[in-house]
Chain A
Amino acid sequence: MKLRAAIASIVLLVSITACGNSQDGGSGPVTLRMTTWSANEAHVKLFTEIAAEYTQAHPDVTIKFDALPVDTYTTTLTTQIAGGNAPDLAWILEGAAPDFVSSGALAPVDDAIENPAELAPSATALWKQDGKLIAYPFSTSPFGVFVNTDLLTQAGQTLPTGDDWTWDNAVAVAAATAARTGKQGLVPRDFDYKDWTNLAPIFDGWGAQAWSADGKTCGFDQQPMIDAMTFIHQAIFSKKAIPGPGVAADFFAGESAMTITQISRASLLKDGKFKWALVPLPAGPKGKYSVIGQGGVGVMKQGKHVDAAKDFLKFFTGDANSAKLAQFFPPPRTPQLTADTLAKSNPLLSKEQLQSVVIDGISNGVVKPSHADNAQISQAVRSALDPMWKDGADVPAVLKSVCTAIQPVLAK
């Protein structure tokens, strides 16, 4: 009797699971799902418009945009893939790019890109494998410094310009403004003493590298990194220019004098309650430089409609739509990278700001650090860096311990 009941329950269960198992056939109506990390209303509106236009020409195709939270984006995406629910198209964060590009999770998209010759080589470098384009870098967004000029004025400070725009002066102004206004000074956005890759816009100014170009050798214990991290440590703990660990301050809510972030954040200043400026990263000991963050979009091999997804990708990233997307995401297409073109779709930024931060930034920029074992290495670096975030820490010793922690993984 017990056995029969047990079998009955299992049969019941199997029949329930079987219901959810039906797959879309090869032909007939197709629904494509694209995962993104932006639920920003203006972004979603534009995506939906582009999708509607595509559906007009392809009535049997529906496009669904699935916005996932950015801080757990890659984890959620991977879990969906593991659960057999891979999206057809997915945005990929630059940190996860090497992992996605090298694993074979994405279908090559060379035949799904309009005028591929237009793409800037610095923009596609991260997204290529064996000469094939694995994902399209729809957003190549340089880091700049947003400045709350109202707060500076209130503190009797002026923003250094030209050759005076150096890290030393930036930190001095930030510290003075923080001291006189009771607000915070300079916030490396999204760093929060966890995502150390958001310190790259500072340490690159010292020529410091997290690891060598081939990804095999740790760079944290090298002199440029020691100098850069010592500078950052002093800016936090002696000069009080950067808010300490556990202190929350949002530049866009007027809580700090400056923030280092990507220009795509300018949309947060739409109804700004203060006067602001956008300037390139200050010069470091190695002179002028720029750092870019990227987002790619790829076609998942494990998705159900690879060909249909490629066709939509071609439409989504073609010249016309690339120009529309440029108002939020600086495009990789060189003909569109002119101050005039970008100004049309970026009403918040002046032509001068677009030229100095965006266009010059993309052509000279170094991409933020990433690695094939990115999540594991980033976590190990984060843990090993933790002892540095207190007053009086031995910076070179901590950096040495970072290399001890990650060298075995790098050398793999």
Chain B
Amino acid sequence: MTSAIKRQDRLTAYAFIAPQLAGTVAFVLIPLVLVFWYSLHEWNVLANTFTFTGADNYRQLADDPNVPKVLLATLFFSAGLVVVNLSLALLLAVLLNQKLRGTTVFRVMFFSPVVVSLVAWTIVWRFMLQDNGGINAFLNAVGLDGPNWLRSGGTAMAAVIVVQVLKNVGLNMVLFLAALQGVPPELYEAARTDGANAWTVFRRITLPLISPTILLTSIITVVGSLQVFAQIAVLTEGGPGTSTTVLVYYLYQQAFQFHAFGYGATLSVLLFLIVLALTVFQWQLRKRWVFHES
């Protein structure tokens, strides 16, 4: 009897996860296996040929003079994004965690870009950042001469990072806010009684107690940063030169613009390995610096 009920429960549980599982199998696992398979082929879509070439695409990857540049741009973008995003999100969360009038308005203000369509957000920023756009018009009005943000090597990457940070900083901010509010107030009281100053309190109590959230937000942000595509496609198309050609955009160019689907698949394998390695690395690291896990 009991086992019959258990069995029934299990079936119900499987029935509930079946749609999600079907989606994961169809759109994640099967494509993942196929990408590995494609990466061993030369696939010319127009000529309708699909030839097994073994490790040729991987040799091409090792010899491709663009790959180091692309990886460097990806690293620059991810590092910039993670540092700026997490520090700004934490700063905002600490500021908005005060019991002051108007904090709700500010919380809504910083969070609202998260719910705006990514492409719409990026297109508006493209208009703002172009040479005769809103930002330079403002700078002009106060007597400054703004650079051509999206067209000069120095500023294009910075502009893409800032646009992306402003879009998503609210999400990390809310996660940090929730974590900050979970810190027991008596710990702060005890510390102050012991004579700790604000910085010591933050470093010795707040940071360790919100470390699981820092881990979570850093994983989300790093993995998200490796997937950046629409922003690059809309703002810079990988330029000027190849200064903003990150890995995802480069693989899009190879597969969909140059019709080299096999080589594009090889680049996706590289991207997959990088994401996997970073996630494993961060997961291992948690034992050392996440407070609850030790």
Contacts and interface: CB of A to CB of B under 8 A. Distances in A.
Contacts of B152: 390
Given A245-B131, A302-B48, A9 B21 contact: yes
Given A1-B10, A104-B47, A383-B242, A9 B148 contact: no
B212 interface: no
Contacts of A301: 48
A103 B44 contact: yes
A1 B15 CA distance: 12
Interface residues of B, number: 34
B257 interface: yes
A194 B25 contact: no
B241 A383 contact: yes
B25 A78 contact: no
A82 B261 contact: yes
A17 B149 CA distance: 46
A81 B258 CA distance: 14
A307 interface: no
A26 interface: no
Contacts of B149: 246
Given A246-B130, A387-B241, A81 B257 contact: no
Interface string A371-400: 001011001001110110110000000000
B151 A246 contact: yes
Interface residues of A, number: 41
Nearest to A248: B130
Given A12-B18, A384-B241, A105 B46 contact: yes
Contacts of B14: 5, 8
B240 interface: yes
A387 to B, nearest CB: 7
Contact of A386 (B43, B48, B241, B259): B241
Nearest to A17: B26
B237 interface: yes
A79 to B, nearest CB: 6
The SS class assigned to the A binding surface is helix
A301 B257 CA distance: 21
A16 B18 CA distance: 14
Nearest to B252: A75
B80 interface: no
B241 A79 contact: no
A302 B237 CA distance: 31
Contacts of B10: 1
Contact of A81 (B25, B45, B132, B238): B45
Interface in A277-311: 301-302
Given A79-B256, A384-B241, A246 B25 contact: no
A105 B237 contact: no
A325 B131 CA distance: 40
Contacts of B258: 373, 375-376, 379
Contacts of B261: 82
Contacts of A79: 256
B46 A194 contact: no
Contacts of A9: 18, 21-22, 25
Contact of A99 (B43, B130, B241, B259): B259
B45 A386 contact: no
Contacts of A376: 257-258
A193 B131 CA distance: 13
B208 interface: no
A248 B257 contact: no
Nearest to B17: A5
B45 A82 contact: yes
Interface string B75-117: 0000000000000000000000000000000000000000000
Interface string B37-50: 00000011111100
A9 B24 CA distance: 11
B132 A375 contact: no
B237 A13 contact: no
A301 B25 CA distance: 32
Given A78-B259, A103-B47, A386-B239, 20 more contacts: A1-B10, A5-B18, A5-B21, A12-B18, A13-B26, A82-B45, A194-B237, A244-B131, A246-B132, A246-B151, A247-B130, A247-B131, A248-B132, A301-B48, A302-B48, A376-B257, A379-B258, A383-B238, A383-B240, A383-B242
13 contacts: A10-B25, A82-B45, A104-B46, A194-B239, A244-B148, A247-B132, A373-B258, A375-B258, A376-B257, A379-B258, A382-B239, A387-B240, A390-B151
Nearest first, the 9 A-B pairs at minimum CB distance are A246-B131, A103-B46, A386-B240, A105-B46, A5-B14, A246-B130, A103-B47, A82-B45, A376-B258
